[in-house]
Chain A
């Protein structure tokens, strides 16, 4: 069990470190503020944003695994506790990087001829912006709030979480909501990027 947690923590630290390290490549945000070479950095930044989103979904599954293990042999609490804290940090990084990318999506950069938003709105599929992006920019911010609630549940009950049916029920409901909202946000993001990359 400890080995699994160690591996999970190390992978999360490595990926987050890589992600944060890449931000140094990005100069400025919004129209006219970015250097021409940063267009490629934006692409890499967007890819890493998507990668971190995928890791978040996998992390949610890891916590679900802990919940199932806890039911089977009563041992998964540590995985749930560490996993939820990690999910909270990753979801905040993910939301912040998403907000930064949204500024590029709206304003564009010198490396790109036009902003992705303008291109989509003028295309034959303006609903990709009108419905998908309009929703994604908000529901992506809802995810850290849901995960924060999961963390508060674990913190409130502490070790008593294992025996408390009500706590486990509340946590499971919140975990399900977090999975659904994350997957929808991720799906919208993938579709938007497929339509017009940054």
Chain B
């Protein structure tokens, strides 16, 4: 099996879906820290506070994107390397978005 006969569409969909998952969690965290009403709206389960909504909606968001892209890209030829770059950038940004001193700069 060589590189050119592997269909990387599914892998690209996974990278983008996973990246969106992480980014959505990070963005929801920033939004809830900056706006009290958003924080309250994200409170799905009281013992966990807004954290419950951030994780739930973040994961759902990414899963939807992953699912849609999976069906769109599954039979298409694609370069998964670009998806990996997107995933790494999303991971770094999502980590920055949960770093409290950074959120403090935005307030």
Contact = CB atoms under 8 A, between A and B. Distances in A.
A128 B47 CA distance: 20
Among A156, A157, A181, the most chain B Cβ lie within 10 Å of the Cβ of A156
Contacts, number: 94
A166 B18 contact: no
Given A134-B98, A145-B21, A29 B47 contact: yes
B57 to A, nearest CB: 13
Contacts of B49: 106
B14 A139 contact: no
A31 interface: yes
B80 A138 contact: no
B98 A138 contact: yes
A86 interface: no
Interface string A126-148: 00001100110111011001101
B78 to A, nearest CB: 11
A146 B91 contact: yes
* Chain A binding surface, main DSSP class: helix
Contacts of B62: 145
Name the interface size band of chain B: 35 or more
Contacts of B26: 138
A74 B13 CA distance: 29
Interface residues of A, number: 39
A164 B2 CA distance: 7
A107 interface: yes
Contacts of A164: 1-3, 6
B47 A31 contact: yes
A164 B4 CA distance: 10
Given A106-B48, A107-B47, A170-B84, A135 B100 contact: yes
Nearest to A151: B14
Interface string B21-60: 1100110010000000000000001111101001100000
Given A139-B98, A159-B1, 8 more contacts: A102-B48, A131-B101, A134-B98, A135-B99, A142-B94, A145-B62, A160-B2, A166-B3
Closest 5 CB pairs of A and B: A30-B47, A160-B1, A103-B47, A138-B98, A152-B14
22 contacts: A30-B47, A103-B45, A103-B48, A106-B47, A106-B49, A107-B47, A134-B98, A135-B98, A137-B51, A138-B25, A138-B94, A142-B22, A142-B91, A145-B21, A145-B22, A149-B14, A152-B14, A156-B10, A156-B11, A157-B6, A170-B80, A173-B84
